[in-house]
Structure 1
Amino acid sequence: MAQGFDPAAATAAYLATLPPEVHAKATAYTQGGHCLLLWGTLVSILVSWIVIRSGVLVRARAGVEAKKPRPWLAVAVVVVVDSIIEGLLSTPWDAYAHWWREKSYGLTSRAFGGWFGEHLLLMGFGLIQGLILFSLLYWAIRRFPKTWWLWSSVGVVFAFLGLFILQLTVLEPLLNSYKPAPPGPVRDTVVAMANQVGVPSGKILIYDGSKQSNRYTANAGGFLGFGRIAMSDVMFKKDADLAEVKGVVGHEMGHYVHGHVPLGALEFGLVALAGFFLLDRMFPWAARLLGAKGVTGLSDPAGLPVVAVIFAVLALLATPLINSMSRYTEADADHFSVVHFNEPDGLAKALVKTIEYRADSPSALEEFIFYDHPSVGRRVRAMMDWKAAHPKDATTASPTKAGA
């Protein structure tokens, strides 16, 4: 351990670089987000209940199958009608939760028109996804009425990976411009890092994330040659230096190298297995409770809003489990970064810049339930513990600003 270095004091010093009012605002935003999770679930249930009580999906299904059974077409028509109605009914809530609230906390600078245009694009993309996934789900329910939940959970794993590829290759290029880092210190540093750990250096990109958000962030993932590591331009607008770039990009490389995307697919498949099993048992009871008149059973696509209600409740209850799985991979990526690139201070400085949208010191219970990343305080402390145990050579040069 480095003599005279106190990890606890160093952690406190990093957190103290932001004034109390910034911490208070971050806490208000974060804890308000916890309430948003509950309210969002209630809004989703209310919207689905309105569609159920209207009977519009029963009439749509009956119209398609008036002369003969046409299950594939019935599913498609129901999914389209339901997606449009529920999307429109949910838009006021989405505007509040994802635009107005973000703007009121200074986390986005975009105008409402920009947000709404993107919202419509995402609705369209979600409709296409829904047509594919629900067509396959209802086929499985019809084909394997006793064991559909088992086979469908296997399908979820492949769907997760397929949607990941579609997101990278189709959706994200529609939303943002992704470009290789220009020649200079950042590119040279990142290419050297990529060569060190076997990540394709041509897939390390900078994107115009400031178009949507003022958050200091990066993201990554990949499998079977698909994937990339992307840094938001906000990083550089907030004066990221090379030590921060190494810490953050090293973290993202950890996601890539350790295969967190396929791991996430397997985890999501297991969660789906439990969810589908419970859906199979709960559907008749939920349909009666919600007053789903005319819905003949789980295989009837007109019961899609009943399925949505059950999934909304189960997803809310599963929040601690899902977040715990996510926290594991995030901590693993932090560890990868510091082991391979030894920039604990760089990553700590970057983490402090995320406090504006992620309160740094929640209670253990709050973190367990609501946090999909370890808290900033916990992550910075892990970096300082590493620094204490692995001091750098005293001749190591101090970080320079990363002009991107």
Structure 2
Amino acid sequence: MAQNFDPAAATAAYLAQLPPEAHARASAYTHGGHWLLLWGTLVALLVAFLIVRSGALTALRRKIEGRRSRPILASFLVGVVYLVVDSLLSLPWAAYSQWWRQKQYGLTSQAFPGWLGEGAISLAITAVIGGLFFTALYALIRKAPRTWWLWGGGLTAVFIAAAMLLAPLYIEPIFNKYTPAPAGPVRDEVVAMARQVGVPSDKIFIYDGSKQSNAYTANVSGLFGSARVAMSDTMFKKGADIAEVRGVVGHEMGHYARHHSLWIAGVMSLLAVLAFFLVDRLFAPAARLLGGEEIRGVADPAGLPVLSAVMTVLFLLATPVTSSLIRIAESDADHYSLSHFNEPDGLSKALVKTIEYRAATPGRLEEIIFYDHPAVGRRIQRAMEWKAAHPKPTVALDLDARASFSDHLVVFPRMPVGMDGIALRADGSWFERHDFGWSKGRYAIADGKLCLTEERGSRRCYAIGRAASGWTLAQDAGAPVAVTLEPIAQAATPG
């Protein structure tokens, strides 16, 4: 354990960076969000009741069928119309809960027309994909009326996997501009991190997330070849430094490396099996309660509002399960970040900036039921406990390395012909001669690392170590290599 370091006191210091009124505002927003789950369910049930009582979907199904059965066309068109009508009837609630409330708490700067336009695009996409899903689901119900709920879980898994695979390529770019992280210290650090843990290093993006939200956030999305790490520009507008980037991106790399998307998709598919099983048993009484006398059972696509109403109630009741499922993955990603990149302070600094939309210190029961991320206070506490148990290289090592490397040429064994080594000047500049000319820039020795940033923006870092004969350097988690130090005066300098 690190001496004279108290994880509890360090956690309290981080949480105290926000004034009491900011914590109170975050708690109000979070607790209001809990109530939104209930009110949203009631709104969904009211909308389902109105659609069923109108008889519009039943009339549409009859018109499509005409004088002959057209189950596939009926399922698709009724599904599309249902999703559109449901969204239009729910629009006032959506405008309040998803835009106006966010505006009131300062979590979005997006104008209402922009929000409404994106909502229309999202509805068009959802209507097409949802229509296809309902077409396949009702085909299963017709083919296997007794076991459709079991096959429905597999169908859900297929659609979830397809959405995860295709969303980064075709859907997310509709709403935001994703650009590769620009050349510079951030990109070089993230690339080095990716290479260190074997994560693809060619899909690190920054996107204009501030277009929709002022929340400090990053995410990992996609599967296999489409997977990527994306950082919202709000991170940098709120002053994210390299330590924060390491902590946050390390967390997102944890999601990728630990296959959390596949794991969550698999469990959600199993929950869908249970939900469809209960829908099969509860559909008839639910249809009677909603006034759907003309609905011809669970196989009738005109009964979509009934099916949706039952699913809405079931997933409200399953909130503790789904929240805990995601929370476990988030906690595991934190651990991955800490264990592979050891950036507890960077992660904690970033977490403090998320308190505005996620209260920091909920009760344990509240966290279990509602929180799909571990509470910020608990996450920072764990990070500080990690810091105490896994101290970084001491300041003394950095001081000794600076004194030894300053004004010296660092020579690696078996250097290529035409290279002399890396010359580190006392003023913080460096240069090296190679076959094609000179490379030069600025260097820094901190946290047990020697980091070189070239004038053109690229960056590489070496872990510093001690050896019986002097010093060692290791790059990209490679084996330490003993280096020799020679006075710079023995080397040519760029003119």
Shared fold (TM-score, shorter chain, > 0.5): yes
Q: Aligned residue for 2:233?
A: 233
Give the superposition deviation at 1:222. Answer: 4.1
CA deviation vs aligned residue, 1:290-318 (integer Å, no higher than 9, x gap): 11021010000000000010011001000
Which residue identity lines up with residue 304 of structure 1 in the other structure?
L
Which residue identity lines up with residue 170 of structure 1 in the other structure?
Y
Q: Aligned residue for 1:213?
A: 213
Give the superposition deviation at 1:251. Answer: 0.1
Counting only pairs closer than 5 Å after superposition, residues 135-174 of structure 1 correspond to structure 2 as 135-174=135-174
Q: Aligned residue for 1:61?
A: 61
With over 3 angstroms needed to count, the CA separation of the structure-2 counterparts of 1:14 and 1:227, relative to structure 1, is same
Q: Aligned residue for 2:71?
A: 71
Q: Aligned residue for 2:292?
A: 292
Q: Secondary structure at the match of 1:10?
A: helix
Q: Secondary structure at the match of 2:227?
A: strand
Identity %: 58
CA deviation vs aligned residue, 1:220-258 (integer Å, no higher than 9, x gap): 034322210000000000000100000000000000111
CA deviation vs aligned residue, 1:1-20 (integer Å, no higher than 9, x gap): 11111111111110001111
Counting only pairs closer than 5 Å after superposition, residues 294-333 of structure 1 correspond to structure 2 as 294-333=294-333
Q: Secondary structure at the match of 1:372?
A: coil
Q: Secondary structure at the match of 1:202?
A: coil
Counting only pairs closer than 5 Å after superposition, residues 345-384 of structure 1 correspond to structure 2 as 345-384=345-384
Q: Aligned residue for 1:263?
A: 263
In structure 1, C-alpha distance between the alignment counterparts of 2:380 and 2:275, rounded to whole Å = 35
Q: Secondary structure at the match of 1:163?
A: helix
Contact 2:168 2:221 in 1 (8 A): no
In structure 2, C-alpha distance between the alignment counterparts of 1:273 and 1:280, rounded to whole Å = 11
Q: Aligned residue for 1:252?
A: 252
Structure 1 window deviating more from structure 2 (148-157 vs 241-250): it is 148-157
Q: Aligned residue for 2:7?
A: 7
Give the superposition deviation at 1:264. Answer: 1.2
Contact 2:15 2:377 in 1 (8 A): yes
Structure 1 window deviating more from structure 2 (373-382 vs 161-170): it is 161-170
In structure 1, C-alpha distance between the alignment counterparts of 2:249 and 2:169, rounded to whole Å = 21
Give the superposition deviation at 1:219. Answer: 0.3
In structure 2, C-alpha distance between the alignment counterparts of 1:267 and 1:66, rounded to whole Å = 41
In structure 2, C-alpha distance between the alignment counterparts of 1:178 and 1:223, rounded to whole Å = 17
Structure 1 residues without counterparts, runs of 5 or longer? none
Runs of 4+ in structure 1 over 4 Å off: none
Q: Secondary structure at the match of 1:182?
A: coil
Q: Aligned residue for 1:178?
A: 178
Counting only pairs closer than 5 Å after superposition, residues 108-119 of structure 1 correspond to structure 2 as 108-119=108-119
Give the superposition deviation at 1:154. Answer: 1.4
In structure 1, C-alpha distance between the alignment counterparts of 2:152 and 2:279, rounded to whole Å = 12
Contact 2:286 2:306 in 1 (8 A): yes
Structure 1 window deviating more from structure 2 (29-38 vs 215-224): it is 215-224
Contact 2:199 2:257 in 1 (8 A): yes
Contact 2:205 2:231 in 1 (8 A): yes
Structure 2 residues without counterparts, runs of 5 or longer? 399-445, 452-456, 458-495
Contact 2:167 2:222 in 1 (8 A): no
In structure 2, C-alpha distance between the alignment counterparts of 1:77 and 1:104, rounded to whole Å = 38
Q: Aligned residue for 1:199?
A: 199
Give the superposition deviation at 1:281. Answer: 0.6
Aligned residues: 403
Q: Secondary structure at the match of 1:103?
A: helix
Q: Secondary structure at the match of 2:40?
A: helix
Q: Is the aligned partner of 1:279 residue 2:268?
A: no
Higher relative contact order (CA 8 A, sep 6+): 1
Q: Secondary structure at the match of 2:228?
A: strand
Q: Aligned residue for 2:190?
A: 190
Which residue identity lines up with residue 271 of structure 2 in the other structure?
V
Q: Secondary structure at the match of 2:31?
A: helix
Contact 1:141 1:148 in 2 (8 A): yes
Q: Is the aligned partner of 1:242 residue 2:239?
A: no
Contact 2:157 2:265 in 1 (8 A): yes
Q: Is the aligned partner of 1:339 residue 2:329?
A: no
Contact 1:251 1:337 in 2 (8 A): yes
Contact 1:44 1:90 in 2 (8 A): yes
